[in-house]
Amino acid sequence: MKGFPACLEDLKAQGHTLVGCFPLYPPLELLHSFGLTPVVLWGMREDITSLTLSDRHLQPYACGVARCLSELVISRGYELLDALFMYNACDTLRNLPEILQAALIRDGRELPLFRMHIPAVPLERPYAASYLKDRIRLLVRELEAFTGKPFSQERFLKSVGLYSRRRRLCGELEKAAAEGRFNFADCAGIILAGSRMPVEDHIAALESSIQSAGGRDGGGERPGVMLSGILPPPMILLETLEHFGLRVAANDIAALKRSYAYQPAETGDPETYYEDFYRNHYPCTTILPSADRRVDTIRRMVRERDVKGFIFIGEKFCEYEYFEIPEMEKMLRKEGVQVLQLEMSMDDILNLDAYRTRIEAFSEMLCQGRQCKEA
Amino acid sequence: MSSEKSPGKFQKNTSGKRLSGIIANDYLTLHRRASEGAFVVWIAIIVPAELFNGFENVVYAVPESHAALCAGKGAGRILCEKAEGFGYSTDLCSYARIDIGTAFDGGKDSPTFGLPRPNLLVSNNNNCSLLVKWFDVYHRAWNVPHLVLDIPFCYEDQKESDFRYIMDQFGTLIRTIEEMSGQKFDIEKARESVKLSSEALKEWKRFLSFAAHRPSGITAFDSFVQMAPILTSRGSRQLLDHYRMLADETEEQVKSGIFPVPGEKYRLLWDNIAPWHQLRKMSGRLADLGANITSASYTYCIGALEGRYDPYMFDGGDPLVWLARLQNFSVCPHGLNLRGKAMKEVIAKNAIDGVIFASNRSCKVYSLMQMDQMRHIREELGIPCIMIDVDHADVRKYSEETAFTRLEALLEMIESRRAQ
CATH number of the domain within which B259 lies: 3.40.50.11900
Whether B159 and B281 share a structural domain: no
Cα–Cα nearest to A98, from A87, A113, A83: A113
With beta carbons under 8 A apart, name residues in chain A contacting B96. 323
Q: Assess whether pLDDT exceeds 90 at residue A2.
A: no
On whether residue A333 sits in a domain, the answer given is no
H/E segment holding residue A367: helix A353-367
CATH of the domain at A38: 3.40.50.11890
Kindly determine whether residue B364 and residue A322, on different chains, have CB atoms separated by under 8 Å.
no
What backbone torsions phi and psi does residue B149 show, to the nearest 5 degrees? -95, 115
On whether residue B9 sits in a domain, the answer given is no
Kindly determine whether residue A329 and residue B368, on different chains, have CB atoms separated by under 8 Å.
no
Whether B383 and B243 share a structural domain: yes
Whether B204 and B223 share a structural domain: yes
Kindly determine whether residue A59 and residue B370, on different chains, have CB atoms separated by under 8 Å.
yes
Q: What is the pLDDT of residue B342?
A: 95
On whether residue B67 sits in a domain, the answer given is yes
With beta carbons under 8 A apart, name residues in chain B contacting A292. 140
Q: Which domain holds residue A114?
A: 4-151
On whether residue B142 sits in a domain, the answer given is yes
Sign of the torsion angle spanned by Cα atoms B215, B216, B217, B220: negative
**CA–CA separation, B364 and B91 (whole Å):** 11
Amino acid at B283: S
The mean pLDDT of A156-164, rounded to a whole number, is 98
- Contact call for residues B67 and B95 (beta carbons, < 8 A): yes
The DSSP annotation for B323-381 comes to: HHHTTT-SSTTB-HHHHHHHHHHHHHHTT--EEEEEEETT-HHHHTTHHHHHHHHHHHH
Question: What's the pLDDT tens digit per position in A209-260?
Answer: 999 986 555 566 789 999 999 999 998 999 999 899 999 999 999 999 999 9
Kindly determine whether residue A120 and residue B150, on different chains, have CB atoms separated by under 8 Å.
yes
Q: Which domain holds residue B173?
A: 14-186
- Contact call for residues A229 and A236 (beta carbons, < 8 A): no
Which of B143, B163, B186 is the C-terminal boundary of a domain? Answer: B186
- Indicate the residue of A121, A285, A326 with minimum beta-carbon distance to B87: A326
What distance in Å separates residue A370's CA from the closest CA in chain B? 31
**ipTM of this model?**
0.94
With beta carbons under 8 A apart, name residues in chain A contacting B88. 322-323, 326
With beta carbons under 8 A apart, name residues in chain B contacting A88. 129, 152-153
- Indicate the residue of A58, A117, A134 with minimum beta-carbon distance to B371: A58
Which of B145, B164, B186 is the C-terminal boundary of a domain? Answer: B186
On whether residue A142 sits in a domain, the answer given is yes
Cα Rg, chain B, nearest whole Å? 21
With beta carbons under 8 A apart, name residues in chain A contacting B129. 88-91, 94, 120, 288
Whether B136 and B234 share a structural domain: no
What distance in Å separates residue B186's CA from the closest CA in chain A? 23
Which of B186, B209, B227 is the C-terminal boundary of a domain? Answer: B186
Whether B116 and B201 share a structural domain: no
**CA–CA separation, B385 and B363 (whole Å):** 20
On whether residue A33 sits in a domain, the answer given is yes
- Indicate the residue of B150, B161, B368 with minimum beta-carbon distance to A95: B368
Question: What's the pLDDT tens digit per position in B374-409?
Answer: 999 999 999 999 999 999 999 999 999 999 999 999
**CA–CA separation, B47 and A67 (whole Å):** 31
Most B-contacting residue of A124, A319, A321, A332 (CB-CB within 10 A), to test interface: A319
On whether residue B1 sits in a domain, the answer given is no
Cα-to-chain-centroid distance, residue B250? 20
- Contact call for residues B254 and B217 (beta carbons, < 8 A): yes
Whether B125 and B214 share a structural domain: no
Whether B98 and B228 share a structural domain: no
What distance in Å separates residue A197's CA from the closest CA in chain B? 30
Q: What is the pLDDT of residue B2?
A: 39
pLDDT interval class at A43 (50, 70, 90): confident
Long-range pairs, A235-238, Cβ under 8 A, ≥24: A235/A46, A235/A185, A235/A188, A235/A189, A236/A352, A237/A352, A237/A355, A237/A356, A237/A359, A238/A184, A238/A185, A238/A188
> What chain B residue is nearest to A293 in terms of C-alpha separation?
B140
What distance in Å separates residue A107's CA from the closest CA in chain B? 14
Whether B217 and B352 share a structural domain: yes
> What chain A residue is nearest to B145 in terms of C-alpha separation?
A292
On whether residue A190 sits in a domain, the answer given is no
Q: What is the pLDDT of residue A220?
A: 60
Describe the crossing of helices A126-147 and A270-279 by its angle, rounded to 10 degrees. Answer: 130
What distance in Å separates residue A307's CA from the closest CA in chain B? 22
Whether B197 and B175 share a structural domain: no
The DSSP annotation for A190-258 comes to: HHHGGGGS-HHHHHHHHHHHHHHHTTS---TTSPEEEEEESSPPPHHHHHHHHHTT-EEEEEEETTTHH
Kindly determine whether residue A320 and residue B130, on different chains, have CB atoms separated by under 8 Å.
yes
Tally of domains within chain A: 1
On whether residue B258 sits in a domain, the answer given is yes
Which residues are B389's β-sheet partners? Answer: B359
Is cis: bond before A233, omega within 30 of 0? no
On whether residue A84 sits in a domain, the answer given is yes
Whether B201 and B182 share a structural domain: no
Whether B293 and B174 share a structural domain: no
Q: What is the pLDDT of residue A214?
A: 67
On whether residue A101 sits in a domain, the answer given is yes
Q: What is the mean pLDDT of each run of 10 residues along chain B (420 residues)?
A: 44 79 96 98 96 97 97 97 97 97 96 97 92 97 97 94 98 98 98 98 97 97 95 95 96 94 96 96 96 97 93 96 92 91 97 98 94 96 97 96 98 95
DSSP state of A84: E
Most A-contacting residue of B163, B164, B364 (CB-CB within 10 A), to test interface: B364
On whether residue B6 sits in a domain, the answer given is no
With beta carbons under 8 A apart, name residues in chain A contacting B155. 97-98, 115
On whether residue A96 sits in a domain, the answer given is yes
The DSSP annotation for B150-203 comes to: ----BSSSPPHHHHHHHHHHHHHHHHHHHHHH-PPP-HHHHHHHHHHHHHHHHH
**CA–CA separation, A319 and B363 (whole Å):** 11
DSSP state of B310: S
Whether B231 and B294 share a structural domain: yes
On whether residue A87 sits in a domain, the answer given is yes
On whether residue B242 sits in a domain, the answer given is yes
Q: What is the pLDDT of residue B328?
A: 86
CATH of the domain at B173: 3.40.50.11890
pLDDT interval class at A288 (50, 70, 90): very high
With beta carbons under 8 A apart, name residues in chain B contacting A61. 91, 361, 364
Q: Assess whether pLDDT exceeds 80 at residue A332.
A: yes
Q: What is the pLDDT of residue A144?
A: 98
* Confidence (pTM): 0.95
Tally of domains within chain B: 2
Question: What's the pLDDT tens digit per position in A266-276?
Answer: 999 999 999 99
Q: What is the pLDDT of residue B5?
A: 46
On whether residue B261 sits in a domain, the answer given is yes
